[in-house]
Amino acid sequence: MADESQTQVGSENGRALRAKLKRIFTIGGLVAVGLGAALAIYTHNRVSTDDAQVSGHIAPISARVGGSVSEILIQDNQPVKAGDVLVRLDPRDLQAEVAQAQAALDAAQADARKAQLTAVQGRTSDMARAQAMVDAQAALADKAKTDLARLAPLAQRAEISQQQFDAAKAESKVADSQLAAAKQQLDAVRQDAGSRAAGAQAQDAKVEKAKADLEALKLKLSYTTITAPVEGIVTRKTVQVGQVLQPGQALMTLVPSHSFVIANFKETQLAKMRPGQKAEVEVDMNGHTLEGVVDSIAAATGASMSLLPPENATGNFVKVVQRIPVKITFDAKEAANAGLRPGMNVTVTVFTK
């Protein structure tokens, strides 16, 4: 009887254990299904990637003209605004060149005024005299022809001597020759006036060249004051007072205060992604979350734009999911509050609904 009681108790305990395990597995399965459903609902209209970094249009600052550094007005890692003076170079050499160019311009302008005055005076006085001579010789030629025409009938009737008639003919020929010479002189005066006008134009061209040279030197002189092109933070400053710079020599780097994020999403994540969609940016450094927006999607994969793009036409091909850069923008003040710096790692989530 004792054995039967123990067997019965053991059987009841086994059934209770199996029932308890069944309940546990049932509840666990329901919880797993619920969690899976919740995860599916949570990730249904969003895609995420941790392959994302903060970026910005970093501006290298270099010298546009050569010269000696006379003053440095900033320190390393100092914030500056657009237009702030960073470095000044010694301007005295260029100031001397500007003064020489100004003197050359003044001389060219004086020569141009003289040439213009000469051209105007020659065109008015010489032209007037030459034209008056032509008019006078034309009148004399007309008179000689008229006299010859009057004397011709008289010579035929022998009322005048042949010597008088021949003298009238000679006088008419002389008048015609003098008229032709006066016309040639008028043409020469016109050509000379044209030459003087061309000379005046050449002087005007010299004036324009002198002006261009002066403006170019003034522009170079302005380059001796180096200013910040954008607002940002100065870093990697290598310039020192007294250093002699060459054109194009690097002085420092300016990291702009306005940054953005380049997130490299898998190509399978871009089916529903569009510019203008909302995004969240979580900063790895401090866990700060920024609200952003999809600005644009790159036109090619990152691999195809690399220095050595893959050549799939050779060797054994292994299909690899490609990543495409997506630009995420956000408010500049929020980025500053989050302490973003180019190159930092972030996690990006885009809401595709």
128 pLDDT above the threshold of 80:
no
Average pLDDT over residues 227-244: 92
* One-letter-per-residue 3-state SS of 80-140: ECCCCEEEEECCHHHHHHHHHHHHHHHHHHHHHHHHHHHHHHHHHHHHHHHHHHHHHHHHH
Please report, for residues 2, 269, 298, the alpha-carbon distance to residue 273 in angstroms, rounded to integers and kept in the order given.
74, 8, 12
Beta carbons of 277 and 295 less than 8 angstroms apart: no
DSSP state of 313: T
63 pLDDT above the threshold of 90:
yes
Residue type (1 letter), 55 = S
233 shares a domain with 86 = yes
pLDDT at 178: 78
pLDDT tens digits, one per residue of 146-201: 766 776 776 677 667 777 766 777 777 777 777 777 777 767 766 666 666 666 77
Buried-exposed string 255-278: b where 16+ CB fall within 10 A, e elsewhere: bbbbbbbbbbbeeebbeebeeebe
150 shares a domain with 105 = yes
Beta carbons of 263 and 49 less than 8 angstroms apart: yes
146 shares a domain with 114 = yes
Please report, for residues 6, 53, 103, 317, the alpha-carbon distance to residue 12 in angstroms, rounded to integers and kept in the order given.
10, 62, 118, 63
110-119, 276-285, 318-327: range with lowest mean pLDDT: 110-119
10 within domain boundaries:
no
pTM attached to this predicted model: 0.62
Higher pLDDT, 30 or 293: 293
333 pLDDT above the threshold of 90:
no
Number of domains forming the structure of the chain:
3
Determine phi and psi for 288, rounding to 5 degrees: -65, 140
DSSP 265-301: EEGGG-TT--TT-EEEEEETTT--EEEEEEEEE-SS-
Smallest CA-to-CA distance from 135 within 97, 175, 179 is with 179
Residue 336's domain comprises 45-57+256-351
91 pLDDT above the threshold of 90:
yes
78 shares a domain with 105 = no
Average pLDDT over residues 56-71: 92
217 within domain boundaries:
yes
106 within domain boundaries:
yes
Residue that finishes a domain, picked among 204, 237, 255: 255
Helix residue ranges per DSSP H, the chain: 2-43, 92-121, 127-156, 162-222, 332-337
pLDDT tens digits, one per residue of 279-303: 999 999 888 999 999 999 999 998 8
What are the tokens at 236? 């990697």
